[in-house]
Amino acid sequence: MSLSIRGGIRAKLIIGTILALLLFSLMVFLYINSALERHIMDNVRQEMTARSYEIQQYLFGVSRQYGDDMLDESNLTYLEHSLETRHEGMRIWLYGAEGPAGGEQPFYLESNYGDRIETIEKSQERAARAERSMVRLNSDNFSYPRLIMHFPYYDDLEIGAEISGIVGLEYELSEEHRLLERLRLVLILAFTALVVFTGAFLYFYITRMISPLETLKQAIERYQKGEERAGQPAELDIEGQDEIGELARAFKNMRSGIDELIADLRMEKEKQKEFFEKMTHELKTPLTIIRGFADMYDKVDTEEERSRCLDRIRLESDRMLEMVENLLSSSRSGNYSLEIEPEPVSLVELCRRTVDLIEVKALSRDIEMLLDFEDQFAGRSTGEAESSKPAAIDPVRIKEVLLNLLDNAITYSGTDIIKLSLRRREDGGCEIIIRDEGCGIKRSKLEKIENGELSRGQGLDIARRIVDLHGGELELNSSPDRGTTARIILPASVFGGESYA
């Protein structure tokens, strides 16, 4: 992800909300500014209109007191100064009934409103037609715009009186503009504070709102890396009935489903591994026997011995075909587990038959095979004959274990003698001991053999599991130059004692 959830969603939500708020604030600001400006200008217009009525009354009073001659052109300048004194903050001009004499405007207007003089003249014309006229003008000579108003004054206050002249008023909007600027500044500060407060509120609110999403994102990343599957999955502390809570629950359900699927796949993989190990282990035994008797066939001279070799090869070939059929059947049914089928068996006879099968290979390497049975097993004890008491074991599986151990001793030990012994244990069980007097194995190498990391240890894992299924143990002991001893310990339960798992 190029952006984190916090950096992406939070930033987009905050920026989007602030932009919307700024646009709304700008619209409100423009509306309030326009309303304030209209309100202020309306007040100014009302003030100038009120002043116009006061000026009309003043001029009428002057005309009544001093006569109409007081309003002649020669006295207008005096009256202008008098009116400006009475109405501070305004510039006042008085014209005759025809407007500016000779069409000439006052120097003040010409110099300051030269480019807008036509607008002023139109306002004067409307005043000469008995209309009030007000215009707003800007000039490069002034810092603020100004309002110019023209209205007629009469020689009498009665309706139908004739126009005696025109009054022009100029009012600078400096105070109003400064007031508007202060109000605008207040509005800008207020909206800025609103945006900052809203941004801070959104930051904390959205951070809290998307915190569950960040937790969910981290859980997904951990799950993607396999960190949760390595141990107990971390619980997602996300509750709620909103969309985020539903998303968290959906992820939990998905994770549980995936975990179950992975567990099933791992179990299936272990079963398949066990199946292939079992297949290799089971096929190795008859193949070893077949190979031994095949080698022996070329070395014997009599027809009887050759016939015996061929019979053994046929027997083991048939047994191997049966094993393959059983393995294929197990594969089709999906049952890859290693199982045993115990039955009463004489351990002495089983050991003898096993040595007889592997002896061919031993002789081909000039290795002598010795059998050493304790008196109880050999049938020389007094009282009840222990040799007649069978062991409840799987003869096929135990024979596989013995053949595997004997084959490894023949192949790797470099010894001249291999001895198979059968001993009774004090707890009622027994031990099958296979010992060679070969080169032995170093401790570090022995550990690798037991773990199946070296070819010499092939099949030991299956052999150990077979012994475990009988409730026994398989031990390996070896020292360099002193040989190796493999010990199969079977419990008393195989002789009718307590049952084993």
Task: Answer whether residue 327 shows pLDDT above 70.
Answer: no
273: left (phi over 0), alpha (psi -120 to 50) or beta: alpha
**CB proximity list for 251: less than 8 A, separation 6 or greater:** 216, 219, 220, 236
Query: Burial of 180 by CB count in 10 Å (0-12 exposed, 13-18 middle, 19+ buried)?
Result: middle
Q: Among candidates 385, 404, 382, which has minimal Cα distance to 463? A: 404
Q: Using CA atoms, how far apart are residues 480 and 413, in angstroms rounded to an integer?
A: 11
* Positive or negative torsion for Cα 441, 442, 443, 447: negative
Residues 6+ apart with CB under 8 A from 1: 8
Lowest model confidence (mean pLDDT) among 18-32, 156-170, 198-212, 221-235: 221-235
pTM of the complete model beyond 0.75? no
**Count of H-run helices and E-run strands, the chain:** 14, 11
| Residues in CB range of 449: below 8 A, 6 or more apart | 441, 456, 457, 460, 476
Residues 24-47 have a mean pLDDT of 88
Give residue 382's pLDDT band: very low, low, confident or very high (50, 70, 90): very low
Higher pLDDT residue, 295 or 455? 295
Q: Is the pLDDT of residue 299 over 80?
A: no
d(CA 236, CA 250): 11
pLDDT of residue 467: 92
Tell the burial category of 454 from Cβ atoms under 10 Å away from its Cβ (0-12, 13-18, 19+).
Answer: middle
- d(CA 239, CA 241) in angstroms, rounded, equals 7
Q: What are phi and psi for residue 333, nearest 5 degrees?
A: -85, -10
| pLDDT single digits (tens) 217-272 | 777 777 777 655 544 455 566 666 667 677 777 777 777 788 788 888 888 787 77
How far apart CA 331 and CA 359 sit, in angstroms, is 33
If you average pLDDT over each of 215-229, 288-302, 324-338, which comes out highest?
Answer: 288-302
Question: Rounded to 10 degrees, what is the CA torsion of 487, 490, 491, 493?
Answer: 180
Predicted pLDDT at 237 = 61
- What would the pLDDT profile of 140-184 be if each residue is shown by its tens digit? 777 888 888 888 887 776 777 778 788 888 888 888 888 888 988
Task: State which amino acid sits at residue 375.
Answer: D
Confidence at residue 380, expressed as pLDDT on a 0 to 100 scale: 47
Band the pLDDT of 61: cuts 50, 70, 90: confident
Handedness of CA 226, 227, 231, 233 (dihedral sign): negative
